[in-house]
Amino acid sequence: MEPVRKIIHIDMDAFYASVEQRDNPELRGKPVAVGGSRQRGVVAAASYEARKFGVRSAMPSVTAARKCPDLIFIKPHFDTYRKVSEQIQSIFHEYTDLVEPLSLDEAFLDVTFHKKGKPSATLIAREIKQRIKEEVNLTASAGVSCNKFLAKIASDYRKPDGLFVIPPEDAEAFVEKLEIDKFFGVGKVTAGRLHEMGIHFGRDLKKFDRAELIRSFGKAGSYYYDIARGIDNRPVNPNRERKSIGGERTFDRDLYDAKELQHELEIIAEIVWNRVKKKQAMGKTITLKVKYADFEQITRSHTFTGNVIGMEQLYRTGVDLLPYYEAAQKGVRLLGLTLSNLTLPGEGIPVQLTLEF
């Protein structure tokens, strides 16, 4: 009989904004938004002081400024965030090699068999939180349970600087009372469909059999059936790769002119291709992302039979995918390029890798 797994999910609290407040004492205790400006762009992260006013990540900056007139907008410093993330990851690896980063600010750890000889996952989580506070001068929240789904939910339960444990024997009862909107892996659109089916809590989802959920949601239906019962057998995967190599730019003013759009696309293509080369990756699918002045967003993709061979091909494909007529009529506030369907060195099976711009 296999031992009950011990999974920890660590989630840094308002990571980007907290790093900025740590490094600039004048920002401490004030509402801070990383990314965007008072007139343009989108909030990448908001401090807890800003969240009290309803400011959230992915919110248009204009909306955020309206909700919080004293909001301070800060340009993101991704190089700094990556360095801080590496510091935190190095702490994780002192406890286990089974670390699965989800982004710069969160990761799963499997400490079923670990390096420190601690008697419980809860003690390990508490010690990791304390070390992050002492060594990095930031706070993190931790969730502890017997699988990834439950650990992820637990880490969000007492934010910020929280620690919450869902014991295996309490898992099913806990999920029965959980709102569907808080289920990890259930987005807003799916939650809306579930609500239409009369599913608002875990106990409602549990009434449906696996076949019914598969008919309604495809493969994801099987996942929903399991998590309604507190079951998630996915392993913590330290070799997990992400979805794409890409980048995007939000402009200070709306762009209508074809030549201006092509110029900006060339800059993006060069940055993305440098990242592709750094990873020694190859890819077959190029995707153009366009956000218009009215915030409508579209994507257009082209997949080649062979790998994209250079920055020029990446750029030219983006140029061909540009919706020139719509851009001239509506104005463009953001452009992005992504290379996906990737193969990394030494691998024959396509994988994908995502990097922030």
pLDDT digits 0-9 by tens, 124-175: 999 999 999 999 999 999 999 999 999 999 999 999 999 999 999 999 999 9
- Rounded Cα distance between 270 and 40, Å, is 24
Q: Are 276 and 283 in contact (CB under 8 A)?
A: yes
Question: What integer best gives the mean pLDDT of the chain?
Answer: 89
23 is in an annotated binding site: no
CATH superfamily for 244-343 is: DNA polymerase, Y-family, little finger domain (3.30.1490.100)
- According to CATH, what is the number of the domain 11-145? 3.40.1170.60
Each residue's pLDDT tens digit, 66-122: 999 999 999 889 889 989 999 999 999 999 999 999 888 999 999 998 887 777 999
105 is in an annotated binding site: yes
Sheet holding 245-255, edge to edge: 245-255, 332-343, 282-292, 297-303
Rg (CA), the chain: 22
Tell me the pLDDT band of 320, cut-offs 50, 70 and 90. very high
47-74 burial, b at 16+ Cβ within 10 Å, e below that, comes to bbbbbebebebebebbebbebbeebbbb
Of the two residues 27 and 239, the one the predictor is more confident about is 27
Tell me the pLDDT band of 225, cut-offs 50, 70 and 90. very high
Distances (CA, A) of 29 to 17, 68, 129, 311: 11, 14, 21, 44
- Rounded Cα distance between 127 and 112, Å, is 16
Helix (H, G, I), strand (E, B) or coil at 179: strand
- According to CATH, what is the number of the domain 170-228? 1.10.150.20
Sheet holding 7-12, edge to edge: 99-103, 106-110, 7-12, 140-145, 163-165
Identify the pLDDT of residue 1: 61
Q: Where are the domains of the chain?
A: 11-145, 170-228, 244-343
- Tokens of residue 244, six digits: 């794409």
Helix (H, G, I), strand (E, B) or coil at 311: helix
Specify the DSSP class assigned to residue 145: E
- Tokens of residue 34, six digits: 């990383």
**Mean pLDDT throughout 285-310?**
91
- Rounded Cα distance between 321 and 313, Å, is 12
Tell me the pLDDT band of 356, cut-offs 50, 70 and 90. very low
Helix (H, G, I), strand (E, B) or coil at 4: coil
Q: Are 63 and 78 in contact (CB under 8 A)?
A: no
- Rounded Cα distance between 243 and 343, Å, is 12
**Mean pLDDT throughout 10-31?**
96
Q: pTM here?
A: 0.73
Identify the pLDDT of residue 188: 81
- Tokens of residue 252, six digits: 């200070």
Query: Does 172 participate in catalysis according to the annotation?
Result: no
Residues comprising the chain, all counted: 357
State phi, psi for 144 to the nearest 5 degrees.
-130, 130
Identify the pLDDT of residue 107: 95
239-255 burial, b at 16+ Cβ within 10 Å, e below that, comes to eeeeebbbbbebbeeeb
Distances (CA, A) of 113 to 95, 121, 213: 9, 10, 35
Tell me the pLDDT band of 345, cut-offs 50, 70 and 90. low
Provide, rounded to the nearest whole percent, the portion of the chain with pLDDT above 90: 67
The one catalytic residue in 20, 86, 106, 135 is 106
Q: Are 222 and 185 in contact (CB under 8 A)?
A: no
Each residue's pLDDT tens digit, 180-215: 999 988 888 888 999 999 999 999 999 999 999 999
